[in-house]
């Protein structure tokens, strides 16, 4: 994990509109600066210091909300004076525990649901300000060259609020609130509170898909995941053979599996810590569990139910005991010395006592694996306070307890087991995400305190064969979002490689390419428009042999390509016109260092529909007599494969190349009231799925004016707001994220706005037929709100049954995105 420079575009707004009062949590100079900025903008401000009991907090929130809503929430508690505790000692954390996590969590829980209930999410915002030096703690590996002032000035509790905010963002997204800013903003080292807050308001003014940013005024950095495989042929890390390791949560699951393998390779003595009592399982039950766990479950639950007990609770407790017993049995069979200790890792004194007992048995501690955890999926507003506290205690309190209890031991490793839900956030996991991200920052702080110890956190992908993600409720939720689970053997090898050859990173992200693409899409706009880059739709290997310089083949798959799955005409996957234009433009640009600046005489001869789920190869052909013209064609075949017509034409365009200058344009001063756009469902004649639903709101003017051409009346027009998507939303899992000529989903939203205007004019659905000209400016930034202006020009003079329109799309800094003229539509029967 790293941060990279990610400057804003010139001309972007610096102050967002505030749509109501602000609620600020924290008592520090940053909170003061936020209040000052909000009041300058004319917004009322309410302050909450963290030093409250939960009941007092609820009463204070009720009092505030009785007078007015607070759609804007700012969490600043990591900047409180008490937040920057210098060492991982239990006394400091006991004083800070509630203010650091419980109070902000409760504020967020109630604020989000209240804002949803008030129907204010579309105009709301949440900002969490961190104090991690502008690096999010990723640079903990280089603290030896940094000053103690920098280290002591950081707040490890920043991680808890960062994880919480990221999970809230995903939950809001899943509940349909896709444009509500929920920002995690780190303070660049040396930046003043005013500079941090200036950067915060610039972020609110310019929405983006950057999940976490570090700012200082105009300085801006974003996080990124860097692929860095380990050199397993390099010298191995020194691991004391026969050393004593403590493994919290090591009685079962992923933690037990990894600890046993490491112990077997290095002759380690394991001391496994867990909440469950020391297991007492008779040999027959152990054999039954090994032979058929499901059958044992049925037998036990039937017996308990017959006896009048609680079969679910009883089995859950018994299953833990069985799994711990099987772990100890496996250790014996593999020649591993292992002892299980029943202890609550969040009980500081109990952990101190058990560690002292371990020393008396096996000497000093050489390694710690903190794999303890507790989590329960639930929607944010339904999270129970006792379950939230239990989740925080296992991860956060347990880490601090283990660090404090081993502060005088010659530790070689202190390893934390986090989760991608902490790194990225996860739906239904607000507490678990907060706990895991704070775990990472705590271990990063320990790395600063103990440079001789390799301290690192694994952000684990969901394991497929073992662990919490295999619980039925968790597995169902992950299956629903299409997550591919990591095989246990693969995860185990990642662990061994890192312990034996790595450990030089504070945080290690183990996940797949698909998941990284979701959260770190390569914003092609940042790379500049002049670079030819890869071609998302064109694979050079598919260039046709016979006319290799003037043709390409592209395979379209309605089961894989989202632009087909999410674009149905009369129920059938149909290639969107915008995707055809994208492919033609990529073909024309291929192999050059120029940018596509304009498409002329763009026409649709025949729609390209798919009868089923079978893929189809299309060809992109250059006209040999008119070199700027390209066509998209396909072979028409019968069901038995026999050719009916070769190279049947579907789309064509003249593609002009040029430099990458982007004009700034005036779009007029027409103002209309915009209302939210509700896309039609799959039963509509034309269906746009989630990947294409980018038009957020639209308003109409002069829709009853007709198409007067005598100059006395104004033409009907529409003004709308489009939010540019991430390239990953349309590219799917395999196509490159960079190299797009258009933002096809964004242009499709322009055409959707035009279709809505046409419907208002003629009360009929329509489809695109042709364009005289499409001028291409810059690519929009993912998350950027764009303004589209569409004008009805009248009945078409070339299409017997249709109309003519024009449109312009501009970015937040008024730079041109697209300008369309001579757009002809045909009415859909």
What secondary structure, in 3-state letters, does 310-366 show? CHHHHHHHHHHHHHHHHHHHHHHHCCCEEEEEECCCCCHHHHHHHHHHHHHHHCCEE
Active site residue 748: yes
Among this protein's residues, is 567 annotated catalytic?
yes
Between the CA of residue 58 and those of 8, 48, 323, 728, what are the distances in Å? 39, 11, 41, 40
Q: What is the largest CA-CA distance in the chain?
A: 99
Among the listed residues 139, 377, 748, 781, the single catalytic one is 748
Instruction: Report the C-alpha gap between 256 and 272 in whole angstroms.
Output: 8
- Residues forming beta bridges with residue 272, ordered by sequence position: 247, 340
Structure tokens at 418: 């986090």
Instruction: State how beta strands 337-342 and 269-274 pair.
Output: parallel
C-alpha span between 463 and 24 (Å, rounded): 39
Alpha-helix runs per DSSP H in 348-458: 348-362, 385-392, 398-405, 420-424, 430-449
Distance CA 128, CA 336 (A): 46
Residues 297 and 80: their CA atoms lie apart, in Å, by 50
Sign of the torsion angle spanned by Cα atoms 568, 571, 574, 577? negative
621 vs 665: CA distance, rounded Å: 34
| The pair of three-digit structure tokens given for residue 307, joined into one six-digit string | 């006896």
Task: Give bridge partners of residue 220 from the DSSP assignment.
Answer: 215
Q: Which of 118, 125, 137 is nearest to 65 (CA)?
A: 118
CA distance 42 to 33: 14
Read off φ and ψ for residue 645, nearest 5 degrees: -150, 125
Rg, C-alpha atoms of the chain: 30
Question: 155: helix, coil or strand?
Answer: coil
Q: Which of 583, 570, 575, 580 is nearest to 603 (CA)?
A: 580
Catalytic residue among 494, 567, 688, 789: 567
Strand order in the sheet with 595-604: 551-556, 616-622, 629-637, 643-658, 595-604, 766-776, 816-827, 802-810, 785-795, 717-723, 695-701, 675-676
Structural contact between residues 695 and 753, judged by C-beta atoms closer than 8 angstroms: yes
Residue 798: exposure state from Cβ atoms within 10 A (0-12, 13-18, ≥19): exposed
**DSSP-H helix ranges across 528-655:** 562-565, 577-589
- Cα separation, 632 vs 588, in Å, equals 12
Q: For residue 223, what are the contacts with CB-CB under 8 A and spacing of at least 6? A: 1, 2, 3, 4, 136, 138, 210, 211, 212, 213, 520
Three-state SS for 753-782 is: HHHHHHHHHHCCCEEEEEEEEEEECCCCCC
Within 8 A by CB and 6+ apart from 20, the residues are 43, 44, 68, 69, 70, 71, 72, 120, 123
What whole-number distance in Å separates Cα of residue 551 and Cα of residue 631? 9
Q: Is residue 12 packed enough to be buried (19+ CB in 10 Å), middle (13-18) or exposed (0-12)? A: middle
Say how far apart CA 173 and CA 696 lie, in whole Å. Answer: 14
Q: Are 536 and 543 in contact (CB under 8 A)?
A: no
H or E stretch at 305: helix 293-306
Instruction: For the chain, count helices (H), then strands (E).
Output: 24, 30
Backbone angles phi, psi at 230, to 5 degrees: -85, 150
Query: Which residues are known catalytic residues?
Result: 567, 748
């Amino acid at each position: 994990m790293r941060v990279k420079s990610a400057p804003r575009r010139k001309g972007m707004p610096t102050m967002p509109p505030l749509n109501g009062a602000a609620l600020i949590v924290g008592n520090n100079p940053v909170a003061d600066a936020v209040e000052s900025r909000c009041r300058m903008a004319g917004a009322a401000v309410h302050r909450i210091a963290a030093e409250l009991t939960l009941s007092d907090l609820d009463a204070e929130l009720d009092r505030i909300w009785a007078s007015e809503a607070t759609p804007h929430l700012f969490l600043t508690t990591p900047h409180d004076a008490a937040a920057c505790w210098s060492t991982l000692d239990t006394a400091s954390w006991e004083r800070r525990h509630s203010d650091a996590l419980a109070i902000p969590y409760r504020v967020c829980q109630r604020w989000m649901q209240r804002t949803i209930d008030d129907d204010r999410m579309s105009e709301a915002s949440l900002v969490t300000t961190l104090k991690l030096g502008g690096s999010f703690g990723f640079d903990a590996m280089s603290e030896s060259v940094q000053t103690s002032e920098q280290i002591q000035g950081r707040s490890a509790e920043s991680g808890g609020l960062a994880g919480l905010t990221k999970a809230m963002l995903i939950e809001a997204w899943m509940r349909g609130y896709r444009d509500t800013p929920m920002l995690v903003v780190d303070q660049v080292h040396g930046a003043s509170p005013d500079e941090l807050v200036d950067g915060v308001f610039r972020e609110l003014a310019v929405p983006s898909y950057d999940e976490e940013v570090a700012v200082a005024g105009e300085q801006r950095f974003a996080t990124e995941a860097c692929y860095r495989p380990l050199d397993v042929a390099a010298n191995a890390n020194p691991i004391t053979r026969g050393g004593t390791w403590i493994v919290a949560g090591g009685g079962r699951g992923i933690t037990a599996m990894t600890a046993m393998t490491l112990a077997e390779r290095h002759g380690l003595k394991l001391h496994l810590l867990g909440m469950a009592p020391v297991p007492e399982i008779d040999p027959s039950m152990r054999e039954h569990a090994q032979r058929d766990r499901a059958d044992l479950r049925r037998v036990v639950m039937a017996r308990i139910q017959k006896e009048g007990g609680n079969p679910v609770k009883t089995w859950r407790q018994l299953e833990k005991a069985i799994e711990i017993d099987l772990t100890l049995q496996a250790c014996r069979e593999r020649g591993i010395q292992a002892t299980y200790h029943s202890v609550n890792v969040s009980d500081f004194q109990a952990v101190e006592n058990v560690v002292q007992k371990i020393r008396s048995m096996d000497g000093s501690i050489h390694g710690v694996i903190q794999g303890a955890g507790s989590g329960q999926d639930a929607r944010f507003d339904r999270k129970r306070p006792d379950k939230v506290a239990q989740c925080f205690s296992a991860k956060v309190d347990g880490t601090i307890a283990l660090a404090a209890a081993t502060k005088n031991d010659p530790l070689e490793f202190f390893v934390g087991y986090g989760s991608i839900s902490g790194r990225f956030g996860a739906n239904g996991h607000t507490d678990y995400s907060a706990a895991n991200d704070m775990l990472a920052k705590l271990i990063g702080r320990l790395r600063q305190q103990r440079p001789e110890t390799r301290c690192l956190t694994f952000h684990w992908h969901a394991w497929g064969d073992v662990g919490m993600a295999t619980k039925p409720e968790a597995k169902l939720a992950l299956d629903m979002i299409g997550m591919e689970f990591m095989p246990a053997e693969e995860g185990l090898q990642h662990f061994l490689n890192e312990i034996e050859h790595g450990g030089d990173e504070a945080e290690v992200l183990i996940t797949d390419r698909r998941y990284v693409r979701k959260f770190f899409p390569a914003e092609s706009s940042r790379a500049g428009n002049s670079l030819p880059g890869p071609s998302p739709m064109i694979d050079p290997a598919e260039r046709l042999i016979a006319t290799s310089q003037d043709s390409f083949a592209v395979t379209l798959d309605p089961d894989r390509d989202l632009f087909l799955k999410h674009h149905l005409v009369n129920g059938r996957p149909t290639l969107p016109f915008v995707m055809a234009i994208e492919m033609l433009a990529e073909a024309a640009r291929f192999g050059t260092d120029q940018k596509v600046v304009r498409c002329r005489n763009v026409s649709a001869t025949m729609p390209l529909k798919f009868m089923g789920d079978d893929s189809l190869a299309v060809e992109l052909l250059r006209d040999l007599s008119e070199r700027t013209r390209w066509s998209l064609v396909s072979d028409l075949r019968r069901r038995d494969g026999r050719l009916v017509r070769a190279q049947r034409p579907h789309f064509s365009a003249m593609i002009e190349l040029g430099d990458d200058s982007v004009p700034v344009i005036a779009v007029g001063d027409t103002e209309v009231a915009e209302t939210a756009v509700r896309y039609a469902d799959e039963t509509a004649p034309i269906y746009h799925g989630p990947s294409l639903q980018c038009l957020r709101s639209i308003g109409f003017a002069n829709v009853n004016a007709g198409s007067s051409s005598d100059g006395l009346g104004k033409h009907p027009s529409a003004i709308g707001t489009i939010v540019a998507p991430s390239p990953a939303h349309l590219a799917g899992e395999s196509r490159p994220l960079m190299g797009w000529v258009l933002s096809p989903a964004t242009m499709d939203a322009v055409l959707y706005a035009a279709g809505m205007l046409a419907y208002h004019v003629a009360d009929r659905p329509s489809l695109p037929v042709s364009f005289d000209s499409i001028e291409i400016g810059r690519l929009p930034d993912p998350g950027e709100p764009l303004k589209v202006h569409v004008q009805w020009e009248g009945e078409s003079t070339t299409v017997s049954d249709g109309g003519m329109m024009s449109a312009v799309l501009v970015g937040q800094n008024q730079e041109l995105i697209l300008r369309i003229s001579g757009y002809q539509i045909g009415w859909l029967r």
